[in-house]
Structure 1
Amino acid sequence: MLITEPHLESPDDFYEALIDTHRDLGSAESHALNARLVLLLANHIGSLAVLKQALALARASGRHD
């Protein structure tokens, strides 16, 4: 089951690290980094059911119809 309540240890520190990781990258490099990060984290999660829940939620929450 996908955890959707706040669960991230030190969210502000993570956000800062994420922004720092993207610093000085062009748009294409930044998109490629995000793709690699998604695949690394998906591998860490491992469960296809959980990953499908995350994909559906991410797609639905990004819509502004």
Structure 2
Amino acid sequence: MEIKNGKPVVNKVTCAVDCGIVINPDAAINMTEGAIVDGIGTALFGNMTFKNGVPDK
């Protein structure tokens, strides 16, 4: 990832999946891509606060 014009840009994503036997390849691809998007979103925009060393609600 790099910052261009003050915004983060993801250049490359590498993903490893251990999903067992795949019955529906399209569904496996969709779930993997969705997990990647969710992870990037959480990394960039997630917010966790702590109070006295304990996660705050």
TM-score range, shorter chain: 0.3 to 0.5
Work out which of the two has the higher radius of gyration on C-alpha atoms and give 1 or 2. Answer: 2
Say which structure, 1 or 2, has more relative contact order (CA 8 Å, 6+ apart).
1
More strand by share: 2
- TM-score normalized by the length of structure 1: 0.35
- TM-score normalized by the length of structure 2: 0.39
More helix by share: 1
